[in-house]
Amino acid sequence: TKEIEEALLAGRIDLAVHSAKDMPTVLPAGLAIVAVLPREDARDAFVGKAAKAIAELPRGAKVGSSSLRRQALIRRMRPDLDVVMFRGNVQTRLRKLDEGVAAGTILAYAGLKRLGLEHVATDLMPLDIFPPAPGQGAIGIESRIGDRDVEKMLTGIHDVRTGQALACERAFLAALDGSCRTPIAGHATIEAGTLSFAGLIISPDGTQSHTVELQGPAQDAARIGDEAARTVRARAGEKFFDGWL
């Protein structure tokens, strides 16, 4: 990402395509997300070898993930499971499953679909039980602020509703990102001009969590995300965020 952004700032490229959930909330000066593509399915997918669903895994089974959010949510669902670190790209993680390193893993369903690998998913995680990372399933296009030619070129592919949902989710994350050790989930949907947001903060061991739900006009997306963050932070207290450092 750093190399791509350096090329943007130097004018060697005019736009960069990113998975929105992997973009930091603070971008380099002079750069912005100028367009967002229509969102894919935001759910997480379970890929199981020993069982088709997390609920069906035997006690003590290993489940691999490198995501703090997914690890915490797995532990909340099944405290008896052994959650292990699982790194690498999608193909590497699938190979590890075949090698028996773990009995299952969780991956973004959007990523599997874009790779033509949706058939490997053995279960899809409900959004209310296993909420996604902010920005999951969305593709953001980054460019230089004020580059009118690029902005005009991208107007035709920008999805307004996804852009508003992403603005809300990123505002929520930005306002809570004081501790990178606190797992955070957030998902916004828009229907008839009304934005509905659900957010979650959870302890890494899955034993403590706080949720927030807010609605409002879609054009107030960033304000709703920020308000949701302040609400859930007030409920949890500052000690919640300090406890996982």
Burial 183-198 (b: 16+ CB within 10 A, else e): bbbbbbbbeeeebbbb
Distance CA 14, CA 143 (A): 6
Burial 37-62 (b: 16+ CB within 10 A, else e): bebbbbbbbbbbbebeebeebeeebb
Spatial strand order of the sheet with 139-144 comes to: 16-19, 139-144, 31-36
174 by Cβ neighbours in 10 Å (0-12 / 13-18 / 19+) ranks as middle
Q: Which of 14, 22, 147, 242 is catalytic?
A: 22
CB 242 within 8 A of CB 179: yes
Is 22 one of the annotated active-site residues of the chain?
A: yes
Question: What is the three-class DSSP state of 213?
Answer: strand
DSSP 19: E
121 by Cβ neighbours in 10 Å (0-12 / 13-18 / 19+) ranks as buried
Q: Return the closest-CA partner of residue 10 out of 36, 31, 33, 34.
A: 31
Q: Which residues have a catalytic role annotated?
A: 22
